[in-house]
Amino acid sequence: MNQPSAPPDGGDLLVALLCHLGIDTVFGIVSVHNLPLVAAVDRELRFVPVRHEATAVSAADAYGRARGGIGCALTSTGTGAGNAAGSLVEALSAGAPVLHITGQIDSAHLGRGRGFIHETKDQLGMLRAVSSYAATVPDAARAAGVLCEAATAALTAPAGPASVEWPIDLQYAAQDPAVLDALTAGPGTVRPPHPAPAPDDGELDAAARLLARARRPLVWAGGGAAVCRTELTALLERTGAGLLTSNSGRGVIPEDDPRVIGNFATTPAGRALLADADVLLSVGTHFRSNETADYSLELPAAHIQIDLDADALGRSYPARHRLHGHAPHVLAALLGRLPEQTAADENWAARLHAVRTEVRDRLRVSIGPQAALCDALRAALPREAVIARDVTIASSSWGNRLLEIFDPRDNVFPRGGGIGQGLGMGIGAALARPQAPTVVMAGDGGLAVHLGELLTLAQTRPRLTLVVLNDGGYGVLRNMQDRYFDRRSGVDLTTPDFALLARACGLPYARIAAEEEAGPVLADAVAADGPTLVEVDLGALGPMKTPFTPPVKLPAPTTAP
Ligand SMILES: Cc1ncc(C[n+]2csc(CCOP(=O)(O)OP(=O)(O)O)c2C)c(N)n1
Ligand SMILES: [Mg+2]
């Protein structure tokens, strides 16, 4: 629409902001209520037309995670914005910065309930509920201010999605070229995130004294530790501590480092280790229910907690010393207070190593033939590959633990546990990181939620291997029903012929039906310079030793009165 000679419009403003934020790819679905935005992005940057608005947000979210930054999604008004809500919930749960721009009806008709096309009752209220920030562009002159405030909010801890609804007449309205120039010129317009809080000196001193005396110390790293590899490595060295992680904290220190126990805290050996530890330092973690067996896991009473979010301190577990601040700064401050030599027991390192080995060996045995998949995947992938996972048994059992991750930006998964987001996240990550291959692990059920995104995959053709673990249904719920209920309900699904489906989409296809096929099939798929759909026939591959059920509590069976 906009001619080079015409004054800049909202689309040009958005492009200037995206350049300022370092975003070169945007995901969305075009509509009468976002046409000028899509047109400008497509002209100046890259617009990826996904097939559902939830995917627009999932892909933008993972684009940001895979680059360690922010992503952008464009949706339409009403149903389009509503479709995005589920994935905004995920970005909110993960603290993942996403700039979500959605259309809104003409400002003259806003809030009048006349049934204007795509009108919805309280779109802003809906967006507020699922985003960390939501606002409406009130007029053309204030559009830049609202957009910059949204981007700042998305990036400021606790980070998350920021949604802006932009009435369509105001998207078309002329923008002041000076505002665009200021944005393009660089820093200063989008305010830097608020200065990080500094923890109390007395608390730092006390925490350092506790760590210096610790004989059997452990560290628990969460997603908030993602940017402190250097400080954390030094702290492990100085204190002789072992490293447990949440699922989000994986890769902070590469998982082939012998000090990393990893995402295994709730295993019997992990629990015993925690019981023996005399000090725990936790860094930027939620202690989510799945990682603490619904908060039944026992932690040492001598618990030092670091978090940038003041509300997180002491929220799930009591903390003796609460250090409110940005993890790298706080860890550096602790290191500055620690003596060169601390007090770790001489046999603590051997104990940590024994636990590291035991938890992996036990898991490997329990997953039976799927261990071959795990090994083949890691062998096929270069160190810097992205590993995206939907919520499927293979992820929940071994993908989230045994399959080694070497950097937090490679670790893409829905932290809120919603199925269906894996492929969209994988596409976003793969387009963010074209230099290396991406793999997506998805179940047949999770994939079916957004089966249409196979077409986005076929159209964008990133270096992405989609591994579909096909067991003909919602396996994890089926396992629960078989174990705890007297019948199955809603778990057996019709699945497509994946070979035919891949062919219909123009995607290369391969199948794994036996352990020995995993290595060659995955090596070929990962080496390809485009997408491949790899179906794992779980029926043919054979069962796990024990059917996997998730770590959720069910009420004890009651007898009839
Ligand atoms: C959005 C959403 N809806 C429902 C669920 C409940 N749920 C969790 S796992 C699962 C089954 C997933 O099936 P599939 O992807 O085939 O993986 P499998 O369990 O068979 O390995 C379901 C329905 C969920 N987590 N998220
Ligand atoms: Mg399944």
Is the pLDDT at 343 greater than 90? The verdict is no
544 in contact with ligand 1, CB cutoff 6 A = no
430 in contact with ligand 1, CB cutoff 6 A = no
The pLDDT of residue 560:
61
Atom of ligand 1 nearest to the CA of 390: 15
Q: Which residues place a Cβ less than 5 A from the ion ligand 2? A: 443-445, 471, 475
Q: What is the mean pLDDT of residues 337-358?
A: 95
Measured between alpha carbons, how far is 528 from 257 in angstroms, rounded to an integer?
29
Give the least confident one: 157-161, 327-331, 535-539: 157-161
The pLDDT of residue 4:
61
Measured between alpha carbons, how far is 34 from 14 in angstroms, rounded to an integer?
11
The pLDDT of residue 6:
84
464 in contact with ligand 1, CB cutoff 6 A = no
Measured between alpha carbons, how far is 149 from 131 in angstroms, rounded to an integer?
14
Give the least confident one: 94-98, 106-110, 412-416: 106-110
- Position 220: which residue type? W
Is the pLDDT at 192 greater than 80? The verdict is no
> Which amino acid residue places its CA nearest to atom 10 of ligand 1?
474
392 in contact with ligand 1, CB cutoff 6 A = yes
How confident is residue 327, by pLDDT bands cut at 50, 70 and 90?
Answer: very high
Environment class of 206 (CB within 10 Å of its CB; exposed 0-12, middle 13-18, buried 19+): middle
Q: What is the mean pLDDT of residues 102-107?
A: 94
Question: In testing the pocket of ligand 1, which one of 391, 413, 450 has its CB within 8 Å of the most ligand atoms?
Answer: 391
Q: What is the maximum span of the chain, computed from C-alpha positions, in angstroms?
A: 81
Would you call the peptide bond into 158 cis, given omega within 30 degrees of 0 as the criterion? yes
Question: Are the C-beta atoms of 14 and 179 separated by less than 8 Å?
Answer: no
CA atoms within 13 A on the CB side of 275: 10
Give the least confident one: 107-111, 337-341, 460-464: 107-111
476 in contact with ligand 1, CB cutoff 6 A = yes
Q: Model's pTM, two decimal places?
A: 0.96
- Over the chain, what is the mean pLDDT? 95
Q: pLDDT tens-digit profile of 439-477?
A: 999 999 999 999 999 999 999 999 999 999 999 999 999
Is the pLDDT at 216 greater than 80? The verdict is yes
The pLDDT of residue 559:
64
Is the pLDDT at 86 greater than 90? The verdict is yes
Q: How far is the CA of 390 from the centre of ligand 1 (A)?
A: 9
With tokens 């809080």, the residue in question is 197
Is the pLDDT at 191 greater than 80? The verdict is no
Q: How far is the CA of 169 from the centre of ligand 1 (A)?
A: 41
Q: pLDDT tens-digit profile of 386-405?
A: 999 999 999 999 999 999 99
The pLDDT of residue 59:
98
The pLDDT of residue 557:
67
DSSP state of 12: H
How confident is residue 188, by pLDDT bands cut at 50, 70 and 90?
Answer: very low
Q: pLDDT tens-digit profile of 147-173?
A: 999 999 999 988 999 999 999 999 999
Task: Look up residue 224 and give its two tokens.
Answer: 């908030």
With tokens 């060996």, the residue in question is 361
477 in contact with ligand 1, CB cutoff 6 A = yes
Is the pLDDT at 119 greater than 60? The verdict is yes
How confident is residue 486, by pLDDT bands cut at 50, 70 and 90?
Answer: very high
